[in-house]
Structure 1
Amino acid sequence: MHLHILGICGTFMGSLALLAREKGYRVTGSDANVYPPMSTQLAEAGIQVSEGWQPSHLDPQPDLVIIGNALGRGNPLVEHVLDRGLPYTSGPQWLAEHVLQDRWVLAASGTHGKTTTSSMLAWILEFNGLAPGYLIGGVPRNFGMSARLGDSSFFVIEADEYDTAFFDKRSKFVHYRPRTLIINNIEFDHADIFDSLADIERQFHHVVRTVPGMGQVLYPSGDAATERVLAKGCWSSRQPFLSPVGEEAARPGDSGLPGARLLKADGSEFVIESDGEILGEVRWSLKGRHNVHNALAAVLAARHIGVREQHACQALCQFAGVARRLDALAERNGVVIYDDFAHHPTAIASTLEGLRAAFPGERLLAIIEPRSNTMKMGVHRQAL
């Protein structure tokens, strides 16, 4: 069967292409921007990518066209598909029907930390012999690629609230039907498709409604938006945890909730504990309280499928991070250059806080590129 993917160089669609190729499909694709690292991954997988939107890219005619959410009416290839009546679907729909069926889906959602949390969770499962499949919007260094089918029933996915396609305006994560759902946090973002925080909360309510009764929703206690979402209805078990992030960061005590206690201010060493009992200890190269938050969520999600906290923490001690997440690119004459993907004021602040804790008293210079649609619209101007 021949699949042609429109927008194939996007992080999600490119990863989808890798999964389809691994399943034995013939895969080709089109995109306007063909460049590494995704173009390199696709080429290594033997996937032909055509640059631009010429209708000739669909000759010979594929059996199915998968249309990315960045494409809409007026795109020459989209119009060609519609005019010719070619079979088409969205990426999330295809994933749900051809990869996620009969899998135990563990989804990492939220405004921040999805890529890192899902990478941590996939590595925890891999380290503990569970051989999960995964699809992540980045390249975890422990794996070296952004997606694979895996050899078990478990599948880890970065679950995005962005819309599915021009013909399906539901959030992508509604298609995934997770049994284990992490909601890392909820803030206003994606101002190009959402008018308010309430609109975003509604989409999270929709995904919570898809979690089965034997499933679990994991979230930071005290996150107001998440609490509002769950108050609308949750039919599975809940696992709140104490986040180490924020001005009033919660510390584990006698609350009965699991949390993280920092051993070093920069987050490079910490323990996970509950009711005074240490469940595991992590010493790693990552920095920042936000990464400790992500780690806590990943450890607890792994616990839901039977991985002991101690064994999960052992995996995290060998977690090598994700490309473009606080990446140390170079060091010269005492100056260290980092690259980070953060594009929301909260995420940027968390990254800078981690660096400040790692380099106390040192001068810190931040250069911000407003790449997301929300940033380009100036919605977060005051927050910056």
Structure 2
Amino acid sequence: MKIHFIAIGGSAMHNLAIALHKKGFTVTGSDDIIFEPSVSRLKKHGLLPEQYGWFPEKITKDLNAVILGMHARTDNPELLMAQRLGVKVYSYPEYIYEQSKDKLRVVIGGSHGKTTITSMILHVLQHAGMAFDYLVGAQLEGFDTMVSITDAPLIVIEGDEYLASPIDRRPKFHLYKANIAVISGIAWDHINVFPTFANYVEQFQKFIETITVGGTLVYNQSDEVLNEMVIKDLSEINKLSYTLPEYEIRDGITYIMYESKAYRLNVFGQHNLSNIEAARIVCNKLGIDTYNFYEYISTFKGAARRLELLGSKGDVNVYKDFAHSPSKLRATIAAVKTQYPGRKLIACMELHTFSSLNADFLNEYSGSMDLADEAVVFIDLKTFQQKQMEPYPAETVKDAFKRDDLIFYNTPENIVKLFENIQPHNVTILMMSSGNFGGIDLNQLTQNILKKIF
């Protein structure tokens, strides 16, 4: 099989390219710019393009397929050549389905928690010694890549609701045709694509309708919008709900209680406990009993950038998290505050995505940082410039978050100065962003904070 990737440097794209290369396919690719870690990973497997740019001559009739990344434009020269020659063009979710249509497909969807639930399932399956393929949106400990395509009979897929490609405007998770599906919850996101909440919710109803007849939907019963949707749905599928398990928090450690036994966890927060229950039901369906599941999940350390501990010393902890949407912000802040109730919580988040910066969406953040003792919001001025958006003042942000004492900064230097001047005693610091805080080295910032503790 000869496969060419247009925009090979993307997070999912380069991992899929490597997976197909490992399977024995002949893989080529192009991109106009590629960042780390994609550069090193592609180079390691001999897949890094010799030159950046688009080269229509790479598209030939003997290609079995072209896979089109979201980063490409509809007028991409290589795409136009493929269309002219009649070469089959796939989005990467389409091609994942093409490679897995004869497998048992588990698809994890939801506005929040899908990366973590997928990671939990993969962790347990690996410990159980099962053969499986996967697609997940984060680099996981114990896994070389974020995509695996082999001859395994099972695939676990993180089902993103964002668009499949520039020429395929369907949400990715509509394309996988799940045998077992999970929906963790619904909270409006991607306002640039789904301009109303109703339009966004509709995508999840359509996702349910793509589940194979006789398949299974695992859903979060505590989500009111989702619960109402499932009750009204008439699809010929099995429906299994989940809520929080029985648990205890002792000395900053969370334990799941099951049949008189306590299972110590490395993760915490009600959102993660809920994620664990979704993963448990899926693993039960795959033949792993609850006792073994809780034994295996007790060693799960979390997905990358999900409540990741950057450092701790004495009564000071510093975490970073991928949280950036209002629902994720609330859940993450609540988790940390509950885990360390006697400590001051300083929560700092970066508004970075198009949706979060959209003035029409900003009010969705109302009250989302209320549980933090000190709330900081950062928007890099360069982000406004890159997205060609008009910057707005601190007052606009404070009004949206409904918090008069909120601290607002628009340069990374101010963030660094703020944390270098704090008194590190009985405090938890939580850094939340889908970006990089204007290039701040959070590991170095953490070490600078901890060095002040005697």
Q: Which residue of 1 aligns with 2:70?
A: 69
Q: Which residue of 1 aligns with 2:333?
A: 352
Q: Which residue of 2 aligns with 1:89?
A: 90
Q: Which residue of 1 aligns with 2:394?
A: none
1:261 partner amino acid: E
Is contact 2:23–2:150 with CA below 8 Å preserved after alignment? no
2:309 partner amino acid: A
Residue correspondence of structure 1 range 288-367 to structure 2 within 5 A: 288-331=269-312, 335-367=316-348
CA distance in 2: counterparts of 1:61 and 1:369, whole angstroms: 46
Q: Which residue of 1 aligns with 2:122?
A: 122
Residue range with higher mean Cα deviation, 33-42 or 22-31 = 33-42
CA distance in 2: counterparts of 1:3 and 1:25, whole angstroms: 7
Q: Which residue of 2 aligns with 1:253?
A: none
CA distance in 1: counterparts of 2:165 and 2:15, whole angstroms: 17
User: What's the offset of the Cα at 1:50?
Assistant: 5.6
Q: Which residue of 2 aligns with 1:261?
A: 246
SS of residue matched to 2:102: coil
1:337 to 1:130, Cα distance in 2 relative to 1, 3 A: same
CA distance in 1: counterparts of 2:177 and 2:132, whole angstroms: 17
1:157 to 1:270, Cα distance in 2 relative to 1, 3 A: same
CA distance in 1: counterparts of 2:54 and 2:271, whole angstroms: 43
CA distance in 1: counterparts of 2:254 and 2:50, whole angstroms: 43
Return the TM-score normalized by structure 1.
0.85
User: What's the offset of the Cα at 1:333?
Assistant: 8.5
Residue range with higher mean Cα deviation, 87-96 or 147-156 = 147-156
CA distance in 2: counterparts of 1:169 and 1:126, whole angstroms: 34
Q: Which residue of 1 aligns with 2:204?
A: 204
CA distance in 2: counterparts of 1:380 and 1:280, whole angstroms: 45
Q: Which residue of 1 aligns with 2:372?
A: none
1:287 to 1:57, Cα distance in 2 relative to 1, 3 A: farther
CA distance in 1: counterparts of 2:151 and 2:117, whole angstroms: 21
CA distance in 2: counterparts of 1:83 and 1:29, whole angstroms: 18
CA distance in 1: counterparts of 2:351 and 2:50, whole angstroms: 28
Is contact 2:59–2:78 with CA below 8 Å preserved after alignment? no
1:270 to 256, 262, 275: 256
Deviations 1:4-29 (A, max 9, x none): 21232322222322321122112232
Is contact 2:112–2:184 with CA below 8 Å preserved after alignment? yes
2:154 partner amino acid: F
Is contact 1:218–1:297 with CA below 8 Å preserved after alignment? yes
1:300 partner amino acid: I
Is contact 2:56–2:77 with CA below 8 Å preserved after alignment? no
SS of residue matched to 1:105: strand
User: What's the offset of the Cα at 1:85?
Assistant: 5.1
CA distance in 2: counterparts of 1:157 and 1:50, whole angstroms: 31
1:361 to 1:379, Cα distance in 2 relative to 1, 3 A: farther
1:350 partner amino acid: A
1:30 to 1:327, Cα distance in 2 relative to 1, 3 A: farther
Please, which runs of 5 or more residues in structure 2 have no aligned partner? 366-454
CA distance in 2: counterparts of 1:122 and 1:316, whole angstroms: 10
1:235 partner amino acid: E
Name the structure, 1 or 2, with higher relative contact order (CA <8 Å, separation 6+).
1
Residue range with higher mean Cα deviation, 180-189 or 280-289 = 280-289
CA distance in 2: counterparts of 1:360 and 1:62, whole angstroms: 63
The percent identity for this pair of structures is 26
2:278 partner amino acid: A
CA distance in 2: counterparts of 1:10 and 1:316, whole angstroms: 30
CA distance in 2: counterparts of 1:204 and 1:371, whole angstroms: 25
CA distance in 1: counterparts of 2:57 and 2:330, whole angstroms: 43
Residue range with higher mean Cα deviation, 261-270 or 170-179 = 261-270
Is contact 1:280–1:310 with CA below 8 Å preserved after alignment? no
CA distance in 1: counterparts of 2:193 and 2:260, whole angstroms: 41
Q: Which residue of 2 aligns with 1:275?
A: none
Residue range with higher mean Cα deviation, 54-63 or 206-215 = 54-63
User: What's the offset of the Cα at 1:288?
Assistant: 1.6
1:240 to 1:333, Cα distance in 2 relative to 1, 3 A: closer
Is contact 2:32–2:53 with CA below 8 Å preserved after alignment? yes
Is contact 1:345–1:380 with CA below 8 Å preserved after alignment? no
Is contact 2:111–2:185 with CA below 8 Å preserved after alignment? yes
Residue correspondence of structure 1 range 208-219 to structure 2 within 5 A: 208-219=208-219
Is the counterpart of residue 9 in structure 1 residue 19 in structure 2? no
Residue range with higher mean Cα deviation, 182-191 or 43-52 = 43-52
User: What's the offset of the Cα at 1:280?
Assistant: 7.2
Is contact 1:134–1:150 with CA below 8 Å preserved after alignment? no
1:89 to 1:124, Cα distance in 2 relative to 1, 3 A: same
1:205 to 1:352, Cα distance in 2 relative to 1, 3 A: same
Is contact 2:31–2:54 with CA below 8 Å preserved after alignment? no
Residue range with higher mean Cα deviation, 227-236 or 324-333 = 324-333
Larger gyration radius, structure 1 or structure 2: 2
Is contact 1:217–1:236 with CA below 8 Å preserved after alignment? yes
2:288 partner amino acid: V
SS of residue matched to 1:17: helix
Q: CA RMSD in A?
A: 2.6
Deviations 1:220-279 (A, max 9, x none): 11422223433132211110112x4xxxxxxxxxxxxxxx1221176732235xxxxx39
User: What's the offset of the Cα at 1:207?
Assistant: 2.1
2:156 partner amino acid: V
Residue correspondence of structure 1 range 141-160 to structure 2 within 5 A: 141-149=141-149, 152-160=152-160
Is contact 1:284–1:316 with CA below 8 Å preserved after alignment? yes
Is contact 1:104–1:179 with CA below 8 Å preserved after alignment? yes
1:72 partner amino acid: R
2:297 partner amino acid: L
1:333 to 1:76, Cα distance in 2 relative to 1, 3 A: farther
1:358 to 1:224, Cα distance in 2 relative to 1, 3 A: closer
1:284 partner amino acid: L
CA distance in 2: counterparts of 1:310 and 1:281, whole angstroms: 11
Deviations 1:279-298 (A, max 9, x none): 97531221221111111100
CA distance in 2: counterparts of 1:126 and 1:337, whole angstroms: 29
